[in-house]
Chain A
Amino acid sequence: MSDSLKIKSDPSDEIAQTPLLEVRGLSVVFDTPDGPQEVVDQVDLKVCAGRTLGLVGESGSGKSVTCLGVMRLLDTGGRVTSGEVMFEGRDLLKNTEEEMEALRGCKIGMVFQDPMVSLNPVRTIGWQISESLRLHRNLSKAAAKHRTMELLDLVGIPEPKTRYAEYPHQFSGGMSQRAMIAMAIACQPKLLIADEPTTALDVTIQAQILELLSDLKKELDMALILITHDLGVIAEAADDVAVMYAGRVVEEASVLDLFDNPLHHYTLGLLNSLPRIDRSVDRLNAIEGTAPPPQDFVEGCRFESRCGHCSDHCYGVRPSFNQVSATRRVACMHPREMT
């Protein structure tokens, strides 16, 4: 097996590294007509250079909002209320807006879910990619064009010369996503945040894009945050995983540990409820109930109402993290046993 080659899971290696991006206690509140709602509650995340952090959760778990908060891209009504986001020794939350603009698309690239709406329909693909080069790198027009061709080639878009002058509607979904990725890596960012990059794509294209992301990560020595709801994608592409539920991180582990031995009952429930192409079951083990919406978030364990292992301890008090090993922790009063 080439596992050991593809998945760096040596913990000693991990400890030695200082994280490239560290999020501590990040909370995000949205103002709604019904009052403020805390959508993200004290989230900690850590991404080391050269690694992929998979951020997995169901819709409404706050995984996308967390990353928008990190990038300070929350739209009006949403605001970060506490926490710090350390990137290369600086707290992004203390940066000025100008400093953030210089950082976005330069040191930190972003790729979004729907490439078709993330591209400007009235500008050519080439223009849009070279824009960030002209903006951040002060390249001349010709140099930017030259570099853009290289980028298109790098992300696997055939015939870069003709594709350069084409418009987004002439691109298929997969090709648009490649173009988005080219745009995001144009300035060789240290960190790439990909928010559901393959959700809108077909499976065969999804496989191509995941492969591309992992190749680019190696080639450009980036760190990658991969936000997804799909545990299959996580198993495929992530090195470390943080599982989010109802605005909180409930479990952190390396990808092998998480799938071998999930400690949080929610993680296990998610894994069990997946239909799998590699095995047959008579009936799916669904988790009963639904995740609470933000207005119903409680201080205590938020999974309690759907959990079969809860006790009186689960009410009222936020479950603190159990540091199981250097790379593993779980926020549960009654975590599963390590096997």
Chain B
Amino acid sequence: MSHQQAQPATQTVTTNRIKRSRLGALLHRWGLTGEWLVTAALIYVSFILFVAVFGFLFQPYPHTQTDLFNQLQPPVFMDGGSWAHLLGTDDLGRDVLSRLIRGLRLSVLIGVIGTVIGAILGSFLGIVAAHFRGWVEEVLMMLVDIQVSLPFIIFALAILAFVGNSLTILIIVVGIDGWERYARLSRSMVLSANRQDYVLAVRSLGLNNFKIYQRHVLPNIMGTLVVQATINLPGVILLESTLSFLGLGVQPPMTSLGQILGVGRDYLILAPWIAVAPGLVIFFLTLSIAVIGDWLRDKLDPTLK
């Protein structure tokens, strides 16, 4: 029992400090409010989304069109570049920009759907584990442990090699990656939320379990799960890139950022732009999403207002 007197004066100060995210604190120390960075990240992500959805309208060439006379042409700002191929061409003379626009579309699609699958599956299983406790929890948490101890790439390669390769299966596989993080997170958060008095309070008011989760527990853990998703999303895009890079992901004629990257690897010395262009896109996308996630966490928490 603790009938202690809190010390609001110090308490508010410290909680505020602790609750500010690490990145936010860093920016604060640099004398930045962090707003411009968030703005830049938001603009970048919106731009990427826009390109992913409507990019095909501005695509200069079909992404599969080869031009064997213009192989490995450098981008326009390098010596020997031309305005015909803004970002140069690859080993088969395909326009890098066109492939980038096309690849982006698939990468974002796989990333977003994969993340959503992982988040929903993982969070649901975590909540189930926390609600039922007992053997249900033990079995689920054992699955989590197995998933953690297994190198996922090998697992994914095995599935893709045995089950065959289609876009649907690829999305499911990258979706499964990361479910254990949501499961662990939501389980521990639900466990601690269920120990909170407000859950007991609404239970004693007569609310049923489903409504308790829907109205009270979920909104309180949602913020953290969304942030977890933003942390995971870049990982999913990278996983897709890795699988495609290894040749088990997106198969030609479809293309994704990872696949372009994989092709670019062979020409890294000779024609670095092939790999650098998708690499930079992925890098900034990952960074922007992380920045937005960080900002979202603060936004979603009314106790910080």
Question: Do A and B truly interact?
Answer: yes
A residues engaging B (CB < 8 A)? 30-33, 37, 39, 58-60, 62, 64-65, 75-78, 113-114, 196, 199-200, 229, 247, 293-294
Complex interface bits, B145-174 against A, C-beta within 8 A gives 1, otherwise 0: 000000000000000000000000000000
Instruction: Give residues of chain B (6-34) contacting chain A, Cβ–Cβ below 8 Å.
Output: 6-10, 12-14, 16-17
Q: Which residues of B contact A294 (CB under 8 A)?
A: 9
Using CB atoms, name the residue of chain B closest to A291: B8
On whether A199 and B10 interact (CB within 8 A), knowing A32-B16, A33-B16, the answer reads: no
**Would A39 and B16 count as touching, CB distance under 8 A?**
no
**Would B4 and A65 count as touching, CB distance under 8 A?**
no
Q: With an 8 A cutoff between CB atoms, is B204 at the interface? A: no
| Complex Cα gap A139–B7 (Å) | 38
Q: Which of A78, A200, A229, A293 contacts B10 (CB 8 A)?
A: A78
**Would B5 and A229 count as touching, CB distance under 8 A?**
yes
Using CB atoms, name the residue of chain B closest to A294: B9
Q: With an 8 A cutoff between CB atoms, is B3 at the interface? A: yes
**Would B8 and A293 count as touching, CB distance under 8 A?**
yes
Using CB atoms, name the residue of chain A closest to B8: A60
Q: Which residues of A contact B16 (CB under 8 A)?
A: 32-33
Judged by DSSP, the binding face of B is: helix
Q: Which of A33, A39, A199 contacts B9 (CB 8 A)?
A: A39
12 examples of A-B residue contacts, CB within 8 angstroms: A30-B10, A31-B13, A33-B16, A39-B10, A59-B6, A59-B8, A64-B10, A77-B17, A113-B4, A199-B4, A293-B9, A294-B9
Q: With an 8 A cutoff between CB atoms, is B303 at the interface? A: no
Q: Which residues of A contact B10 (CB under 8 A)?
A: 30, 39, 64-65, 78
**Would B2 and A200 count as touching, CB distance under 8 A?**
yes
Q: Which residues of B contact A199 (CB under 8 A)?
A: 3-5
Q: Which residues of A contact B7 (CB under 8 A)?
A: 59-60, 64-65
For B9, B10, B12, B17, the residue with the greatest tally of chain A CB atoms inside 10 Å of its CB is B9
| Complex Cα gap A293–B17 (Å) | 18
Q: How far is the CB of B9 from chain A (nearest CB, A)?
A: 5
Q: Which residues of A contact B17 (CB under 8 A)?
A: 76-77
Closest 4 CB pairs of A and B: A60-B8, A59-B5, A39-B9, A60-B9
Q: Which residues of A contact B13 (CB under 8 A)?
A: 30-32, 37, 77-78
Q: How far is the CB of A114 from chain B (nearest CB, A)?
A: 7
For B2, B3, B4, B13, the residue with the greatest tally of chain A CB atoms inside 10 Å of its CB is B13
Using CB atoms, name the residue of chain A closest to B12: A32
Using CB atoms, name the residue of chain A closest to B13: A30
Q: How far is the CB of A202 from chain B (nearest CB, A)?
A: 8
**Would A196 and B4 count as touching, CB distance under 8 A?**
yes
Q: Which residues of A contact B3 (CB under 8 A)?
A: 199-200
Q: Which residues of B contact A32 (CB under 8 A)?
A: 12-13, 16
Complex interface bits, B189-205 against A, C-beta within 8 A gives 1, otherwise 0: 00000000000000000
Using CB atoms, name the residue of chain B closest to A247: B9
Given contacts A59-B5, A65-B9, 18 further A-B pairs with CB under 8 A are: A30-B13, A32-B12, A32-B16, A33-B16, A58-B5, A60-B7, A60-B8, A64-B7, A64-B10, A75-B14, A76-B17, A77-B14, A77-B17, A78-B10, A196-B4, A196-B5, A200-B2, A247-B9
Q: How far is the CB of B34 from chain A (nearest CB, A)?
A: 13
| Complex Cα gap A32–B18 (Å) | 12
Using CB atoms, name the residue of chain A closest to B2: A200
| Complex Cα gap A39–B3 (Å) | 23
| Complex Cα gap A76–B29 (Å) | 13
Q: How far is the CB of A38 from chain B (nearest CB, A)?
A: 10
Using CB atoms, name the residue of chain A closest to B16: A33
Q: Which residues of A contact B12 (CB under 8 A)?
A: 32
| Complex Cα gap A114–B2 (Å) | 9
| Complex Cα gap A59–B8 (Å) | 7
| Complex Cα gap A76–B25 (Å) | 13
| Complex Cα gap A62–B12 (Å) | 13
Q: How far is the CB of B126 from chain A (nearest CB, A)?
A: 27
Complex interface bits, B92-132 against A, C-beta within 8 A gives 1, otherwise 0: 00000000000000000000000000000000000000000
| Complex Cα gap A114–B6 (Å) | 12
**Would A200 and B4 count as touching, CB distance under 8 A?**
yes
Q: How far is the CB of B42 from chain A (nearest CB, A)?
A: 22
| Complex Cα gap A294–B9 (Å) | 7
For A31, A39, A59, A78, the residue with the greatest tally of chain B CB atoms inside 10 Å of its CB is A59
For A39, A60, A78, A229, the residue with the greatest tally of chain B CB atoms inside 10 Å of its CB is A60
| Complex Cα gap A62–B16 (Å) | 18
| Complex Cα gap A64–B8 (Å) | 11
| Complex Cα gap A30–B16 (Å) | 12
Q: Which residues of B contact A39 (CB under 8 A)?
A: 9-10
| Complex Cα gap A33–B6 (Å) | 20
| Complex Cα gap A32–B15 (Å) | 10
Q: How far is the CB of A123 from chain B (nearest CB, A)?
A: 23
For B5, B16, B17, the residue with the greatest tally of chain A CB atoms inside 10 Å of its CB is B5
| Complex Cα gap A75–B9 (Å) | 13
| Complex Cα gap A196–B2 (Å) | 12
Q: Which residues of B contact A37 (CB under 8 A)?
A: 9, 13
Q: Which residues of B contact A75 (CB under 8 A)?
A: 14
Q: How far is the CB of A19 from chain B (nearest CB, A)?
A: 26
Q: Which residues of A contact B2 (CB under 8 A)?
A: 114, 200
Q: How far is the CB of A81 from chain B (nearest CB, A)?
A: 15
Q: Which residues of B contact A196 (CB under 8 A)?
A: 4-5
Q: Which residues of A contact B6 (CB under 8 A)?
A: 59
| Complex Cα gap A137–B3 (Å) | 37
Q: How far is the CB of B50 from chain A (nearest CB, A)?
A: 34
Q: How far is the CB of B183 from chain A (nearest CB, A)?
A: 28
Using CB atoms, name the residue of chain A closest to B6: A59
